[in-house]
Structure 1
Amino acid sequence: MNVKSLLAQSMTASLVAASSSVFAADVTKEQVVEQYANLAHAVFSDALTTAKVLDKSIESFLAAPSQEKLDQVKQAWIAARVPYQQSEVFRFGNPIVDDWEGQLNAWPLDEGLIDYVSTGYQYELGNEGASANIVANKTLKIGATELDINKLTPQTIADLNEIGGSEANVASGYHAIEFLLWGQDLNGTKAGAGERAYTDFVVGKGCTNNHCDRRGEYLQATADLLVQDLEWMEKQWSSEVKGNYREQLLSESADNGLRKMLFGMGSLSLGELAGERMKVALEANSTEDEHDCFSDNTHNSHYYNEQGIYNIYTGSYKRVDGSLVSGASIAQLVAQKDSKAANEIQQQFDSTRSQVGQLVTSAEKNEQYFDQLIAADNVKGNALVNQTIMSLVDQTASIERAAKIVGINSLNPDTADHEF
């Protein structure tokens, strides 16, 4: 299934969930928090399933590299981003997710830590690991740290994250895999994504850019690590596992659970999506601050972040197999208290989701991708991104309004130190 059909399905599912919630019987706060845990389990389960497909696709590609197989791996990576991006709303308010997330989705990264880069490569100032090139070296010395990396295992790669104390030293996760698959996007704010040749993974005769065996070893180990990490998180939300985070969450007061839900929605909407992922890149006209910068998949990442916020509000989630998980929701709690406000909040969600969807339309129909929209000389593109930022700000205000209606005051979503 391609991303376009997934996008259409998610919008259809959301409309169904929103319309059905209006006519549902009264729900309790406890039921809403339990459904939140159900959604988390479903989303992380799907993230795990799609990561396993990616892992197997990489294994098949490395066994006999070809352009066709590399294209298949890239599609598996894009598909794996769909559920994962919908999981990010669980980060904020749930430290167990936020503390874990960096190993899977940290960005931006100094890709010279991992592999070869172009001449004139721009890296974070002061980062001693910015050109370490793990693929080309079996020992590393960064600052006072010296490491034997002869064997690239999932654990070895995990240990290399933030080596030398720099957050830009990202060795693992979706974006490390993305870089290994696409290579650097050297097009700046012009059209085009990364163009790594499949021959970078051909072992022996035909290998390009040297160290093809190590590059493949790195790619496979990073994919294996991604699966291991997601297996752990899926268990944290499972109703069949005792003593996990789900059990802890449901043992707390329902108001505390609701606060986590609403804080997560507001913080992703405001500080993270509007701020870190859009405002920073727009104001600096910086493709280095684009989220999926190697693949030009950023429009989908933004869209599915927004979808994740809406999933929590409506208590629903369209799974990758097409089934719908739905149940008690914040939307219902709001409607029970104030039907007029519920309609107005719903309208704001509809407006913002439509606005974020315009980034997808821009990329897929008009071939104006996010890195082109933020170019200094792209007046219309800048306006589109800025309108999306402001719509996310308005959506956050509606989330705060919903919080007050259901009895959660002083929500204070994380702004990530941005002013809007």
Structure 2
Amino acid sequence: MKTQSLLAQVVAASLPLMAGSAVAANVTPQQVVTHYADVAHAVYADALTTAKTLDSKIQSFIASPSQAKLTEVKQAWIAARVPYQQSEVFRFGNGVVDDWEGQLNAWPLDEGLIDYVADDYQYELGNEGAKANIVAKTQLTIGASTVDVENITPQLIADLNELGGSEANVASGYHAIEFLLWGQDLNGVNPGAGERPYTDYAQGENCTNGHCDRRAAYLQATADLLVQDLEWMEKQWSPQVTGNYRQELLADSAQNGLRKMLFGMGSLSLGELAGERMKVALEANSTEDEHDCFSDNTHNSHYYNEQGIYNVFTGLYKRTDGSLISGPSLYDLAAQKDAQAAENVQKQFDITRAQVHKLVESAEENNQHFDQLIAANNPQGNALVNDTIMSLVAQTGSIEKVANLVGITSLNPDSADHEF
């Protein structure tokens, strides 16, 4: 992944907009909300395209397992995360996304629900499904309930989410696929990600750790479900579909649309990214609370969350095919009210995006991944993560300034009950 070059390209593409474009001279709130919907549709369309590629790679790998094909599948998973993580800014404020996203991106998960794990693996206390191991069984007993899992299908996997009432029982989505590809990361705060052997999907005597046929069926069904879910969401934002969420959003007042945009940006910046995804892991020095914990892809996951926030502010989105979408933006709207204030906000966004990108640089240039940065014996790493948290907090303050400029008061972005 060429994250640095992507950063440079998007920054370069942003420059004319920051300097003031023809569009910026007279945009309306309705135009800004409409373009927001256009960006959302493009992001979900890209997430769908990359998920289909992942699904195809998984089919090829399962048909003829090899180390080379497992590497290709892993690369496809990492590529699929790029647009999806940029979509999370649409989650907060848009109920249609928030009600749906858990089936795709819920975490942390008790991976023992799905497959074999180390004897000493940490799981949520009281979770009766934490070591259920669906791959190894055709029937599960959770409390007084018995569940038939002999036929592994996308629908079965969807139904098994939150089995026994525990949110840690995540059966589907990107992280279930991640675990099935990488396996557990048993390195703690030391370098290294999961090291699942490709032979966990081999046939006959070459199969390792047993139940390779069921493991393959689970991986394929989870990938199929991911594609089905993204197909549904892409249609919710499509201008070609009637009676969908896009039409509902655009039929509402433009002010409500602006509020959803700004609330989504602020809530992802503050409560989710700074809080749930960074502060929780840092304060507990807990690799179990790392986002992409099996693959050690967390630095990219955090960066593309931040990129998604930036996209909504600037009205820019760089698609997976390399094309750039641009249009009426919150920056334009704010600049019409106060050009200097909008420029100051833009500077804070640039500072924060560069700060989050330091997590990427740490991983790619210094081999210090997020799970090492949060280690109790790594004061420099802790400081880097804490500085990133504080920059996200400052960015949230700038988002609130934009809200005031465009007439949205009492934004109150979700803090997820964290104090900063």
Q: TM-score range by the shorter chain?
A: over 0.9
Q: Count how many residue pairs are aligned between Structure 1 and Structure 2.
A: 420
Aligned partners of 2:24 and 2:335 also within 8 Å: no
- 1:264-283 residue pairs with structure 2 within 5 A? 264-283=264-283
* Match in the other structure for 2:99: 99
Q: 1:313-341: CA deviations, max 9, x gaps?
A: 01110000011111000000100001110
**Shift of residue 11, structure 1, vs aligned partner:** 3.9
Q: 1:329-379: CA deviations, max 9, x gaps?
A: 000010000111011101100100010010000000011000000000101
Q: Which runs of 4+ in 1 moved over 6 A?
A: none
Aligned partners of 2:23 and 2:327 also within 8 Å: no
Residues 271 and 374 (structure 1), Cα distance of their counterparts in 2 relative to 1, 3 Å cut: same
Whole-angstrom CA distance in 2 between matches of 1:15 and 1:43: 22
* Match in the other structure for 1:256: 256
* Match in the other structure for 1:26: 26
Are positions 1:184 and 2:169 aligned together? no
Whole-angstrom CA distance in 2 between matches of 1:196 and 1:221: 19
- 1:148-227 residue pairs with structure 2 within 5 A? 148-227=148-227
Q: 1:236-268: CA deviations, max 9, x gaps?
A: 000010000000000000000000000000000
Q: 1:19-73: CA deviations, max 9, x gaps?
A: 4558732100000000010000000000000000000000000010000000000
The secondary structure found in structure 2 opposite 1:259 is helix
Whole-angstrom CA distance in 2 between matches of 1:199 and 1:232: 34
Q: 1:107-155: CA deviations, max 9, x gaps?
A: 0000000000001111000000000000000111112321111110000
The secondary structure found in structure 2 opposite 1:372 is helix
Residues 346 and 301 (structure 1), Cα distance of their counterparts in 2 relative to 1, 3 Å cut: same
Are positions 1:408 and 2:408 aligned together? yes
* Match in the other structure for 1:245: 245
* Match in the other structure for 1:290: 290
Q: Which ranges of structure 1 fall in alignment gaps of 5 or more residues? A: none
* Match in the other structure for 1:305: 305
Whole-angstrom CA distance in 2 between matches of 1:123 and 1:148: 23
Residues 71 and 190 (structure 1), Cα distance of their counterparts in 2 relative to 1, 3 Å cut: same
Whole-angstrom CA distance in 2 between matches of 1:203 and 1:348: 54
The secondary structure found in structure 2 opposite 1:140 is strand
Letter of the aligned partner of 1:157 in structure 2?
I
- State the TM-score, normalizing by the size of structure 2: 0.98
Are positions 1:396 and 2:396 aligned together? yes
Residues 2 and 357 (structure 1), Cα distance of their counterparts in 2 relative to 1, 3 Å cut: closer
Are positions 1:108 and 2:111 aligned together? no
* Match in the other structure for 1:43: 43
User: For structure 1, which segment, 10-19 or 204-213, has the greater mean C-alpha deviation from structure 2 after superposition?
Assistant: 10-19
The secondary structure found in structure 2 opposite 1:164 is helix
Whole-angstrom CA distance in 1 between matches of 2:9 and 2:79: 14
**Shift of residue 221, structure 1, vs aligned partner:** 0.3
Aligned partners of 1:17 and 1:316 also within 8 Å: no
Letter of the aligned partner of 2:300 in structure 1?
N
**Shift of residue 12, structure 1, vs aligned partner:** 3.6
Residues 17 and 59 (structure 1), Cα distance of their counterparts in 2 relative to 1, 3 Å cut: farther
* Match in the other structure for 2:329: 329
Whole-angstrom CA distance in 2 between matches of 1:297 and 1:22: 39
Residues 366 and 161 (structure 1), Cα distance of their counterparts in 2 relative to 1, 3 Å cut: same
- 1:125-164 residue pairs with structure 2 within 5 A? 125-164=125-164
Aligned partners of 1:129 and 1:142 also within 8 Å: yes
Whole-angstrom CA distance in 2 between matches of 1:197 and 1:5: 32
Letter of the aligned partner of 2:248 in structure 1?
Q
**Shift of residue 388, structure 1, vs aligned partner:** 0.2
**Shift of residue 194, structure 1, vs aligned partner:** 0.3
* Match in the other structure for 1:63: 63
**Shift of residue 14, structure 1, vs aligned partner:** 3.9
Aligned partners of 1:39 and 1:315 also within 8 Å: yes
User: For structure 1, which segment, 139-148 or 285-294, has the greater mean C-alpha deviation from structure 2 after superposition?
Assistant: 139-148
Whole-angstrom CA distance in 2 between matches of 1:39 and 1:108: 28
Whole-angstrom CA distance in 1 between matches of 2:209 and 2:346: 52
**Shift of residue 16, structure 1, vs aligned partner:** 5.1
Identity, in percent, stands at 75
Residues 58 and 286 (structure 1), Cα distance of their counterparts in 2 relative to 1, 3 Å cut: same
Whole-angstrom CA distance in 2 between matches of 1:165 and 1:21: 52
Whole-angstrom CA distance in 2 between matches of 1:306 and 1:22: 27
Q: Which ranges of structure 2 fall in alignment gaps of 5 or more residues? A: none
Aligned partners of 2:25 and 2:336 also within 8 Å: no
Aligned partners of 1:136 and 1:211 also within 8 Å: yes
Letter of the aligned partner of 1:355 in structure 2?
Q
Q: 1:59-88: CA deviations, max 9, x gaps?
A: 000010000000000000000000000000
Residues 85 and 161 (structure 1), Cα distance of their counterparts in 2 relative to 1, 3 Å cut: same
Are positions 1:353 and 2:353 aligned together? yes
The secondary structure found in structure 2 opposite 1:365 is helix
**Shift of residue 2, structure 1, vs aligned partner:** 4.8
Whole-angstrom CA distance in 2 between matches of 1:316 and 1:140: 48
The secondary structure found in structure 1 opposite 2:206 is coil
Aligned residues: CA RMSD? 1.2
Aligned partners of 2:114 and 2:171 also within 8 Å: yes
